[in-house]
Structure 1
Amino acid sequence: MMLSLTAAIVLALAFLFSMLGLGGAMLYIPVFHWFGYDFKSVAIPTGLLLNGVTALSAAVSYLRAGMVDVRGAAPLIVSSFLGAPVGALFTRYVPTETLILLFAAGMILAGGRMLIAAGRPDTRRHMAPGARFALMGAGGFGVGMIAGLLGIGGGFLFVPMMLAMGYPTKQAAATSAFVVVFSSFSGFAGHLAEGHFDWPLMGATLAAVIVGSQLGAKVMRERMKAAWIKRMFGGVLLAVAAKLLWRLFG
């Protein structure tokens, strides 16, 4: 019964986060934790796996629609792929409470940034290719480490980074989904090597993730406006951060 309820919630979350160019781990992980699964050894690796599957399912749809900047995303893909397993190895040294605090802090920063930007039109900034390559490489490695440490794909940081570099909102969300695939599976592999997994939970939620992410990607392509995406993104992140902090200190 608990697995069925968990799968239903995951389906709804996959629908939402695939529209935002995210894998959804930032909500999958708290949900698993609230249902009593261990934060480090179960919630984080399962969240990473589902994060990667959600992002992959959505990214395939975005690639077919020509919305992904594959060439521009290459530095993010390589650097985040290398950084994620490094972060995963550090989870054994960081207390669970510290991980939750870092998790909440990251969501507050990203959520506030997106709400502030929601009322602004997309602006196309022009950066020198070398500067963009260097920023994406350094930023991708850092985000990859954070992703592996906290069990997230890094999309909540990739999207603001690409928006700051001048990507249109929909292209940033679609490209982020593509990048998140690599950082998520790389981080999951790092946790798997540490013996962190729960096969029944993983199996029960994979189908829900695939269905939800395909539906969400279709809605985003055909119906969503950029401002809506930013507001949804920001609001969800702040709400989950508040819930985590309430659980930790309440």
Structure 2
Amino acid sequence: MSQILLILIGFLVGFIVIAMGGGGAAIYLGILTSGFGLSAVSAAATSLFTAIPALIVGAYSQYRSGNINFKIGNRMLLSALPATIVGSLISHYIPANIYTWIVALILILLGAQVLWQTHSSKNDETQDRSSSTGKAIFFGILSGLMVGIAGLSGGGPIVAGLLLMGLDMIQAAATSAYVLVFNTLVGLLFHMSAGNINWNFGIYLMIGSVIGAAFTPFLLKKMSTPGRTNSILRPLMGIILIFMGAKMLF
């Protein structure tokens, strides 16, 4: 019964990873630590291991659909990958409570900003190139540090940054999945040396997440028009970011 439950949980998280462009490892961390009693170190390695196959499947599906913005995604990767390595190396020297508060406040602020932009009457579609580059670098660094230090997927700041740079929710989720494939892989390599993967949980979660990731792009295509999809997923992303931040604080 627990195996079926793990597969179902993996399916739901795989859907969230691709529909929202990330957040899978953060959800896995909470489930594995509070629900199944894994240590933080083991949960971090297991969550990253579980998220990678789903990200690969989802990113490939999004690539075939032409939804990935490689120009912006590559800018984020150039800053995210070094930040992931640095975060992994310094993770043992940062007090966990200080890091938790910093990340939680950032997630809450990002969620509030996404919600504010969603309800604005008009969004400026013409983005300043230098400003977009700066935002890509900033959010890439933030995401990389989250992966390296805490074993989170880093999808929250990636998606929020992409939305604030003018991408719609579908493009943001697709581009985020592309960035997180490499970001999460680098983080996993470092976290595997610090803690063991729990294969009993990881394998079943991975099976479910791959199925969910493969199914999601087809479901999103059926969701009426892109505008309606954005009107649902974009504010939902803002709420999830705020919820994730608040949960880390309390």
Query: What range is the shorter-chain TM-score in?
Result: 0.7 to 0.9
- In structure 2, do the counterparts of structure 1 residues 26 and 195 end up closer, same or farther at CA, with 3 Å as the change threshold? closer
Give, in whole Å, the separation in 1 of the partners of 2:2 and 2:249.
24
- In structure 2, do the counterparts of structure 1 residues 52 and 124 end up closer, same or farther at CA, with 3 Å as the change threshold? farther
Q: Which residue of 2 aligns with 1:236?
A: 240
Q: Which residue of 2 aligns with 1:209?
A: 209
Of residues 109-118 and 170-179 in structure 1, the stretch that sits farther from structure 2 once superposed is: 109-118
Q: Which residue of 2 aligns with 1:104?
A: 104
Give, in whole Å, the separation in 2 of the partners of 1:36 and 1:100.
20
CA contact under 8 A between 2:18 and 2:213: conserved in structure 1? yes
Give, in whole Å, the separation in 1 of the partners of 2:106 and 2:46.
20
- Tell me the amino acid that sits aligned with residue 74 of structure 1: N
- In structure 2, do the counterparts of structure 1 residues 201 and 79 end up closer, same or farther at CA, with 3 Å as the change threshold? same
CA contact under 8 A between 2:45 and 2:195: conserved in structure 1? no
- In structure 2, do the counterparts of structure 1 residues 8 and 64 end up closer, same or farther at CA, with 3 Å as the change threshold? same
1:96 Cα offset (Å):
4.3
TM-score, normalised with respect to structure 2: 0.85
TM-score, normalised with respect to structure 1: 0.85
- Where do 5+ consecutive residues of structure 1 fail to align? none
- Tell me the amino acid that sits aligned with residue 5 of structure 2: L
Q: Which residue of 2 aligns with 1:175?
A: 175
Q: Which residue of 2 aligns with 1:37?
A: 38
RMSD: 2.4
Q: Which residue of 2 aligns with 1:194?
A: 194
Q: Which residue of 2 aligns with 1:227?
A: 231
Q: Which residue of 2 aligns with 1:27?
A: 27
1:237 Cα offset (Å):
3.1
- Where do 5+ consecutive residues of structure 2 fail to align? none
1:81 Cα offset (Å):
1.9
Of residues 233-242 and 72-81 in structure 1, the stretch that sits farther from structure 2 once superposed is: 233-242
Q: Which residue of 2 aligns with 1:77?
A: 77
Q: How many residues align?
A: 244
Give, in whole Å, the separation in 1 of the partners of 2:247 and 2:137.
33
Give, in whole Å, the separation in 2 of the partners of 1:165 and 1:24.
22
- In structure 2, do the counterparts of structure 1 residues 98 and 36 end up closer, same or farther at CA, with 3 Å as the change threshold? farther
1:90 Cα offset (Å):
2.6
Task: Give a deviation string over 1:48-75, Cα, whole Å, max 9, x none.
Answer: 2233322222111110011111133212
CA contact under 8 A between 2:146 and 2:154: conserved in structure 1? yes
Q: Which residue of 1 aligns with 2:8?
A: 8
Give, in whole Å, the separation in 2 of the partners of 1:237 and 1:8.
23
- In structure 2, do the counterparts of structure 1 residues 135 and 241 end up closer, same or farther at CA, with 3 Å as the change threshold? closer
- In structure 2, do the counterparts of structure 1 residues 87 and 2 end up closer, same or farther at CA, with 3 Å as the change threshold? farther
- In structure 2, do the counterparts of structure 1 residues 239 and 163 end up closer, same or farther at CA, with 3 Å as the change threshold? closer
